[in-house]
């Protein structure tokens, strides 16, 4: 009988035999536990090469609008958002969305910026040299070597959200990889009030990745699974991601099903970010950007606590910062051109 990791954890102490297998490089392939007769076994399955499945890994994405022709565009601009967990690139033709990508940030910000741009342009013959204005934003914005200007992610998310959700948006919640921002903006997407919390990873994408890895559940499945509880459990009490992880293990060992642990964690995250939002107040319309906007378990709970629904967009919530940066680049290039004429 093969158990998944949470089941194994909950039964660990009742099983007398604990087994670890490793391949020749010393990497763990399997952790198991069972009875002396081997009736129960298995847990983390590695690949033949010794690599253990990384459940936190979300799929990298890109898209290009092939109905548009960049050669006919008067202005080509790009925005690059280098975050702590993910990097995005957005390319605009005359202020309209042409291509975008969302990739994982590596150890080097300049390489991540280039990787994001190359990924966005991979199905086109447009190259970086033909893009006259690039704006960098995000945590690694100062390390985008081909950016002509850097702009904070707060201003870029507001501008991107205004494009994605329209001019009625007044409150934006950006739940990024390692920080969280509450933003108010006007009808043009200009920031009027903001608050950022980057002191702790709880309530952020990184916290969710840690949970996905701990429970061996693909990160995209956490939100839907967390909604499969009949009754909402209390939130995990710890706001710190390290303690929340320990608490989650304790809950599994005490017999909580995985869905209930996920619901408890998503609720804690929702309560934490709504407290941040309430500090500046929530005005309609409300919009959520960043990777966690894709976690329906967190989004539904935020909406329930606030008593309002977040506006939806057909575009990927994760590209809001890069999109805002590209829109700034478009306006700045236009200004430069006006100055020359």
Partner 1 sequence: MIANYGYTDGSGEYYISINTSFCAECQTHPCISACPQGVFEMITDDYDEPACSVKDSFRKKLNYTCSTCKPARKSSESPLFLPCVQACVNRAIKHTW
Residue 241 interacting with partner 1 (CB under 8 A): no
Residue 68 interacting with partner 1 (CB under 8 A): no
Q: Which of 11, 61, 118, 193 binds partner 1 (CB under 8 A)?
A: 193
Residue with tokens 């320990």: 246
Interface with partner 1: number of residues (CB under 8 A): 22
Residue 305 interacting with partner 1 (CB under 8 A): no
Residue 161 interacting with partner 1 (CB under 8 A): no
Smallest gap from Cβ 36 to partner 1, in A, equals 45
Could you tell me which of 83, 76, 41, 40 has the C-alpha nearest to residue 58? 83
121 vs 322 by CB, closer to partner 1 = 322
Cis upstream peptide for 285 (omega within 30°): yes
Residue 200 interacting with partner 1 (CB under 8 A): yes
96 vs 335 by CB, closer to partner 1 = 335
| Separation of alpha carbons 79 and 90, rounded Å | 5
Smallest gap from Cβ 119 to partner 1, in A, equals 26
Smallest gap from Cβ 190 to partner 1, in A, equals 7
194 vs 287 by CB, closer to partner 1 = 194
Q: Which distant-in-sequence residues (6+ apart) come within 8 Å of 90 by Cβ?
A: 78, 79, 97, 99, 100, 120, 319, 322, 323, 325, 326
Whether 239 and 268 have beta carbons less than 8 Å apart is answered as yes
| Separation of alpha carbons 300 and 293, rounded Å | 10
Smallest gap from Cβ 221 to partner 1, in A, equals 29
Q: Which distant-in-sequence residues (6+ apart) come within 8 Å of 312 by Cβ?
A: none
Residue 17 interacting with partner 1 (CB under 8 A): no
Query: Phi and psi of 171, rounded to 5°?
Result: -125, 130
Q: Which of residues 141-160 bind partner 1 (CB under 8 A)?
A: 151-152, 154-155
Q: Which of 29, 52, 68, 280 binds partner 1 (CB under 8 A)?
A: 280
> How buried is residue 218: exposed, middle or buried, by Cβ count under 10 Å (0-12/13-18/19+)?
middle
Window contacting partner 1 (CB under 8 A); options: 2-10, 33-41, 119-127, 273-281 = 273-281
Which residues are near partner 1 by CB under 8 A? 151-152, 154-155, 190-200, 239-240, 275-276, 279-280, 328
């Amino acid at each position: 009988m093969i158990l998944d990791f949470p089941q194994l954890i909950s039964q660990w102490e009742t099983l007398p035999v604990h087994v670890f297998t490793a391949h020749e490089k010393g990497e763990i392939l399997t952790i198991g536990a069972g009875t002396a007769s081997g009736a129960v076994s298995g847990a983390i399955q590695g690949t033949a090469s010794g690599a253990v499945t990384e459940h936190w890994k979300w799929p990298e994405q890109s898209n290009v609008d092939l109905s548009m022709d960049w050669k006919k565009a008067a202005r080509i601009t790009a925005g690059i958002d280098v975050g702590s967990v993910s990097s995005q690139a957005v390319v605009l033709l005359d202020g309209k969305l042409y291509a975008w990508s969302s990739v994982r940030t590596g150890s080097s910000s300049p390489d991540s910026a280039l990787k994001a741009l190359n990924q966005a342009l991979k199905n086109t013959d447009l190259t970086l040299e033909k893009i006259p204005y690039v704006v960098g934003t995000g945590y690694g914005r100062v390390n985008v070597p081909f950016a002509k200007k850097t702009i904070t992610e707060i201003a870029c998310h507001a501008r991107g959200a205004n494009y994605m959700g329209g001019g009625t948006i007044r409150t934006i919640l950006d739940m990024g990889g390692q920080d969280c921002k509450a933003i108010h903006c006007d009808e043009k997407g200009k920031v009027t009030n903001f608050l950022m919390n980057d002191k702790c990873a709880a309530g952020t994408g990184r916290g969710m990745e840690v949970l996905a890895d701990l429970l061996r559940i693909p990160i995209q499945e956490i939100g839907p699974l967390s909604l499969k509880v009949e009754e909402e459990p209390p939130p995990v009490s710890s706001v710190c991601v390290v303690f929340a992880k320990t608490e989650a293990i304790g809950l599994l060992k005490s017999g909580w099903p995985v869905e209930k642990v996920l619901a408890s964690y998503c609720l804690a995250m929702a309560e934490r970010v709504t407290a941040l939002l309430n500090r500046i107040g929530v005005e309609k319309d409300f919009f959520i950007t960043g990777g966690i906007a894709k976690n329906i378990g967190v989004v539904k709970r935020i909406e329930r606590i606030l008593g309002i629904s977040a506006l939806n967009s057909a575009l990927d919530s994760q590209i809001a910062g890069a999109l805002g940066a590209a829109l700034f680049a478009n306006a700045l290039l236009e200004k430069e051109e006006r100055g020359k004429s």
